[in-house]
Structure 1
């Protein structure tokens, strides 16, 4: 996993992405990119790795934090998924200019869109693995992968709505959407008490007793 080295200023990534957007991804060499952000070629490769890694550095960081958050959380499964997914969005939007430039670059560059698909599948795998670990017994096999993909889809929809100016507070909108989404899966994620335990009651009664007395006796036993 390629993660921007600790201490690398976020503005370095923004400057690099801006340069790629202005000059064109294919037309820009790694050496030119290093010069544009004021780094030597060796320092650039040590901190970023490649042109692709510059564009996706925040995604790599978000994935690492997502895995760590889900591996060590005291929250309920539903709250953990909502919180962790929203935190990913907050990280990707912490620099609005970089977020918009990244989106424009990927729109114009097929190679970056291919890399984005790989990143998307990585998010889905992290979510799916966590869901399988916490889901209730007898949960259908399709639940984990379906919910994992749905979380990513909801995140991406909120991100694109923000990028296109349709919503102002992307994190709040996403949180609301995720509450609705995870609510559909709650019975499989948490013991909500919706599943009623079945009990078998064997009743022994006096054949001479009235039907009402037999029913009263059975009712009394069931409510113990």
Structure 2
């Protein structure tokens, strides 16, 4: 038990070090707010149904512009969710098959971290191969509940170390995968269609954690939100 708590403290200490260099934002969690009328959203269309997500251009401008432009150019049409890690994520666009050079900038682009935007369940984030290697691959977090010991350590560290009550409460309430914070760029949040995501993570997988039958992205639309 002591060893487990020590490991949790070490992991969170690494996150605290990362917080010292990240961008600070609003005190409340805008990430979890409902979209406003007229706000640009993305609709990911699949055979299983539609997934609707907010975009955060003020927090991750390069990631959002890259995603929007690729979507509007039809780049994602016919691509697949090719990797599923139950209790963690579903990942789209297999860079191994296409080469790792698909961004509108013609090269990998930098990470964009923010202490008030976490990898809560439903977060949409950039996959990478290390710092500042973002391209077109992205994932949706389907993390499970956070261990009580982690929540306890977060509360002990507190707001002075970047763990606000709102952030901790959200992780405690809906779960997620906090280990990705300050390693991957959060640029969106699912606000409708998590039931579709749940279906996707429960498809039959092979030994490589890939769906036995392709999960195809028909299209990603960028549209203004309407109630």
Larger radius of gyration: 1
Question: Normalising by structure 1, what TM-score?
Answer: 0.24
Question: Normalising by structure 2, what TM-score?
Answer: 0.24
